[in-house]
Structure 1
Amino acid sequence: MKTKKNIYINTIGCQMNVYDSGRISSLLAAENYTPVSSFENADLVIVNTCAIREKAVQKVHSFLGRMQALKKKKPFLTVVVAGCVAQQQGAALIERFPQVNIVLGTHAIDQLPDLLRRVKADGQPIVEVALTETIHEHPAHSVIPSVDREVTGFVTIMRGCDNYCTYCVVPYVRGREISRKPESIIAEIRAMVQCGVKEITLLGQNVNSYGVKQGLTSFPELLARVNDIEGLERIRFVTSHPKDLSDQLIASFGRLNKLCNHIHLPVQSGANPVLKRMNRKYTREAYLEKIDKLRRVSPAIAISTDFIVGFPGETDADFNDTIDLMKTVKFDSLFAFEYSDRPEAPAARFSDKIPSDVKYQRLQTLLDLQKEITTQNHAALIGQVFPVLIEGESKNQMKKPEAGIIELSGRTSENRIVNFAIPSDSLLDMDDLKGQIMNIRIEKAFLNSLRGIAVENQTEFLKPKRRHSHVA
């Protein structure tokens, strides 16, 4: 009988890392590892890392410093560094942080159980960072324990990137694009739905190019197949590269009833000279044309984006073009960052860097404008009714529960957070409520969320869900 052991996973970075951490947890559940909420109680600590920005790398190094102190107290503790920093820094991590036992590259997740056995047997650190040209088609049930009883889930449909934007390290740490077989993806989603998942987010560095290199089903065709899965309520996807956003995919927002009315379409800059130096392979005009097509198909579609400010060579005029594009599109939300050099990325060698104070000021200007736009967008929603998928208790309910009511939180199809209260009912517990879709009328608008009231009487509308057994 295998000895029971505790595992703590610290996930830093994108949704793909969240998915990979779920895979790791599932793999190690078969090795009798149980997740714990504190690394002090763990026998195995894994930090799943992100190398996209310097701040994320600093978080990794800080965490590993804490592991050095913990390992002095617990010499038999095993420490694993996984993800993009592991892939990028390799053996240098062990040289700098000798408390690390395994450096697990982005293509080596499925080797982890064997690597742990090797470390236990001989005590020698292991670095496994080889990039492969194949993608592991894990069994449909292999990620289920990590999402059991959850309403939303992630499914990776492809790995790697072939775009080579000059600021980005993804092709170097995740490898070239390779897509999973559609049958494997569909089987995994069906298994998750049987465990109660209602909303799936399909993940890839550039989902729009899914299947192209291998001659597989196209991404719009894959979406149509996922849309046919019984019991699934909603479909989302990230991330889309604007140059590969096809008319067929745009049309999917009008054809597929389960596809959420939201798209994340990173633009990075509103200036053509900057886009060219970034190697984004589209122009400002082409981006705006795709926004126009999306809104013709679905007028109320929510559009979010990414911006990098202070890219090398960005002039005041270039930044003003970015501001002008924001005012034109009126994005629902965005992620914005100051440019920072990344090892291996070509832009790190560009000589015309922007001073830190200029980058900071441009970022604040951009964020202030987005606050105004979001405030206006949200205010326009007051009085409207939206179907909201209940994800669980609101933060307010968890902090300050109020007698006689339960405050819930969920998201609209447009990916807006909505909080609302209903009378508590002893016949309905949280497992009954999670995953239900209720029509909510918006009464108040805030910067990061909305507040509303249920249109229906919940005692008539909500019905206890069938309890889902685990699929093995």
Structure 2
Amino acid sequence: MSAAAPAKRLYIKTYGCQMNVYDSERMADVLAPLGYALTERPDDADLVVLNTCHIREKATEKVYSELGQLKRLKAARGADGGAMTIAVAGCVAQAEGEEIMRRQPAVDLVVGPQAYHRLPELIARSHRARGERLAADFAPQAKFDALSSERRPSGVTAFLTVQEGCDKFCTFCVVPYTRGAEWSRPAEAIEAEACALADQGVREVTLLGQNVNAYAGEGGLAALIRRLARIEGLERIRYTTSHPRDMDEALIVAHAEVPQLMPYLHLPVQAGSDRVLKAMNRAHTAESYLALIGKIRAARPDIAISGDFIVGFPGEREADFEATLDMVREVGYAQAFSFKYSRRPGTPAAALPGQVAEDVKEARLHRLQALLDEQQRAFNAAQTGRTLPVLFEKPGRRPGQLVGRSPYLQAVHAAAPERLIGEIVPVRIEGAAGHSLAGVLEAGPESA
């Protein structure tokens, strides 16, 4: 019997959002039949994929810096008689296209976010040194139709893309240009993938989309959530990222009526000033956002609200920033993400007058983050003394410790046997820090 051929080694570096995490997992899936196994070291890889994000300032230059290092690794492999294929995927690939290969000839493939299902074909063509090297203009339906329904989840939680693209055209954002128009997967395909995940031990799924609550299947996101809630073994459902414009009544009611839908909502507002929101083309006001939060909390009083904020948007005055602080104080966020505005080439905001000085942006971000951190600590501290159902996901850093998530997405550490991984266990919270909780198992058969 001849020895099996050694596995090819695949290294994927993922930048940015949960969508890219999901896409990287699927890239590994489509490449597995070609014999590619993941490695944690780029210098050990036969194929290196940079799955890029285009949201933050200097994202493109970071990619080119990384490519410069990979060029040296590729040359070293070639000198030793080996070979390395370098692919750039994701949103920078979509935005930059052939310019990437012009600037860095070491790159073999450029693959946009709707075309990674064609990686096997493109790699074969590349290895034959012929055929197309650029695949950035394909519809998302073709991508999902080409992907195998089989996934190999790495744990008891998993991401599940249900919607891609964006039609909102916020003036600071490149997503409508790099991910295309809003598109929703068929509910049947999503349900099949969720069932397969549940059969493999996944207990919680997070539904993903650039505007996930714009999901346009029959009945919208609320109907999809109710459908997935019927899957045996699937105990928890979350979704991200939402837009206030798409938070409809049916979805709010689902938070009140579907026990599998966790009491956590990421609903970015971006700013508390109507003047800034209008310049951002957000199509909601501070008042309408606060009214929406009120309706959601009326439906699910214990819901934890998360958000996104941008400080220093062009034209933002001190009074506008103070309005953002007022918004934060009124809502009371369980957690939030905040950033300095960064100019993205090709977006309308990049050409706006009134660009805010970097030191002003830095000072405002510091003040905002101090307030948000204070709120997150207060929310976590409020859990002390409560008993929360915790889904244990993995071993902790200490021997005999497990780490899981509360319904509010907080990390929870507790002494527990490894057999409880994948189980939802009542944990009495005895301590709180800025980003996590500590607890002990409630007495019961599962704690023995």
Aligned to 2:446: 461
1:318 counterpart = 2:320? yes
1:26 counterpart = 2:26? no
Residues 195-254 of structure 1: CA deviation (Å, up to 9, x unaligned): 11110010111112111xxx6341111111011111101000011100110111111111
Runs of 4+ aligned residues of structure 1 deviating over 4 Å after TM superposition are none
Once the 2 structures are TM-superposed, how far is the Cα of residue 72 of structure 1 from its aligned partner? Answer: 1.2
Aligned to 2:177: 172
Note if contact 1:208-1:219 (Cα within 8 Å) is conserved in structure 2: yes
Aligned to 2:330: 328
Aligned to 1:226: 228
Once the 2 structures are TM-superposed, how far is the Cα of residue 134 of structure 1 from its aligned partner? Answer: 3.9
Once the 2 structures are TM-superposed, how far is the Cα of residue 125 of structure 1 from its aligned partner? Answer: 7.5
The code of the aligned residue for 2:277 comes to L
Q: Any residues of structure 2 matched to 1:29-428 within 5 Å, and which? A: 29-75=32-78, 76-122=83-129, 126-132=133-139, 134-138=141-145, 142-145=149-152, 147-148=153-154, 150-211=155-216, 216-394=218-396, 396-397=397-398, 401=399, 406-422=400-416
Q: Which residue, out of 414, 419, 424, partners 1:437?
A: 424
Once the 2 structures are TM-superposed, how far is the Cα of residue 312 of structure 1 from its aligned partner? Answer: 0.3
Note if contact 2:30-2:148 (Cα within 8 Å) is conserved in structure 1: no
The CA distance in 2 between the partners of 1:172 and 1:62, in whole Å, is 23
Residues 276-304 of structure 1: CA deviation (Å, up to 9, x unaligned): 00000000000001111111111110000
The code of the aligned residue for 1:336 comes to S
Note if contact 1:135-1:178 (Cα within 8 Å) is conserved in structure 2: no
Aligned to 1:451: 438
Once the 2 structures are TM-superposed, how far is the Cα of residue 440 of structure 1 from its aligned partner? Answer: 0.8
Note if contact 1:262-1:413 (Cα within 8 Å) is conserved in structure 2: yes
Residues 445-472 of structure 1: CA deviation (Å, up to 9, x unaligned): 1001111111134xx2169xxxxxxxxx
CA distance 1:249–1:109, change in 2 (3 Å): same
The CA distance in 1 between the partners of 2:6 and 2:373, in whole Å, is 52
The code of the aligned residue for 1:192 comes to L
Any unmatched runs of 5+ in structure 1?
425-429, 464-472
The CA distance in 2 between the partners of 1:7 and 1:381, in whole Å, is 42
Note if contact 1:337-1:363 (Cα within 8 Å) is conserved in structure 2: yes
SS at match of 2:435: coil
SS at match of 2:159: strand
CA distance 1:281–1:182, change in 2 (3 Å): same
* 120-129 vs 86-95, greater mean Cα deviation: 120-129
* 87-96 vs 124-133, greater mean Cα deviation: 124-133
| % identical aligned pairs | 43
Note if contact 1:8-1:44 (Cα within 8 Å) is conserved in structure 2: yes
Aligned to 1:469: none
Note if contact 1:139-1:188 (Cα within 8 Å) is conserved in structure 2: no
Any unmatched runs of 5+ in structure 2?
none
The code of the aligned residue for 2:324 comes to T
SS at match of 2:292: helix
The CA distance in 2 between the partners of 1:343 and 1:292, in whole Å, is 37
How many residues are paired up?
441
Once the 2 structures are TM-superposed, how far is the Cα of residue 55 of structure 1 from its aligned partner? Answer: 4.5
Once the 2 structures are TM-superposed, how far is the Cα of residue 272 of structure 1 from its aligned partner? Answer: 0.3
